[in-house]
Structure formats: C-alpha cells, structure tokens
Amino acid sequence: MIHPRQVLARNYLAWFACVVLAALIQTNWPEALRLQEVSPDIVIVLIVYFAIAYGEERAMFTGVVGGLYQDVAVNTTLGHHVLCYVVIGYIIGRLATRLISEHAAVKAGLVLLAGFCQGVAYITIQYAMQPQRGMLYPILNTAAPIAFYSAIITPFVFAAVDRIFHKRTIISDGIV
C-alpha cells in the first residue's frame, strides 16, 4: 500500500528533478535548442506551468531552484535569476487564478508575458550595475526573441510535464 506521504515525496522529488533538468538543458546544451541565435527559457515555461497547476508558491520555489542553478552555472552574481524568477512566479501565479488557463493560447500568452517581464527585469538589474551596456538594445535583441521562442515551445514542454505530474487513468467509459 502506498502512503500519502510517499506520493507527496515522489511528487516533490519529480518536481525538483524536472526543474533541475530544465535548468541543466538550458545552461549546458543551449546549442541544441538554439534557433537563429536565440535559445528558449525553459525554466520560465516551467514557472508558468507550476503557477497554473499548483499556484504561486510552487512557481516561486521553481524560480528559486531554477534561478539558483542558472546563477551558479552561468557564473553571474548570485541572486539575479532567482530574484527575477521568483517575482515573475508570484505575479503569474496570482494572475493565473483569475484566468481561464486551460486554453493553449492563454498558456502561451502567459509564457510570453512572463518571459518578456523576466527579461526586462534581468536587463534592468544588469543596467543598474553596468549602465554603459545600455538597456533598450538588449531588451529588443535578447528579451523579446527569447520570450517569443519560449512561448512557441510552451505546448511541448507543458505536454511533457503534464504527463509526469497529471497521469490520467483510463476507465471503461473514457478518460477521467
């Protein structure tokens, strides 16, 4: 017999492995996903997924784990990705409770909005630390294309993660 604690522990372990795997793919193999010099932000897609499926708390924890891994792996100042992802996770989690988020266009739109806002927040932090880099050009050249590419891969990532976390049982009358 499987106890509820074991199911809960497996669910959290699967969530943690999923977030770390997404951050690992995003930081270590961006060439495999690169299209016209743009790589998607898989972690932001997962943040939106968990914001819709489990609420803002799980989305914020996803932002902490994914952002911490990215900050360490990419060798940026610790906390840049974490701060941006956590804030976006909270905002999208609160927004998702007020939307009918079952439609694929709404999910992709939320990923587009979250990706663009995360990119703007990250570039704003970089601009505050190094004003000579500029701000408008990186937003148009980096944040917008990454947000669009992330929105395009949303159905594929959502389908893969949905298979892991929401297994459906087949009953004789149909799918429940």
CA distance 58 to 97: 13
Q: Assign a CATH topology to domain 4-28+40-163.
A: Arp2/3 complex 21 kDa subunit ARPC3 (1.10.1760)
The whole model's pTM is what?
Answer: 0.87
pLDDT digits (tens, 9 = 90+) for 46-105: 999 999 999 999 999 999 999 999 999 888 888 899 999 999 999 999 998 888 778 888
Tens digit of each residue's pLDDT (9 = 90 or more) over 139-161: 999 999 999 999 999 999 999 99
Angle (CA) 24-31-87 rounded to 5° is 45
Domain residue spans of the chain: 4-28+40-163
d(CA 16, CA 10): 10
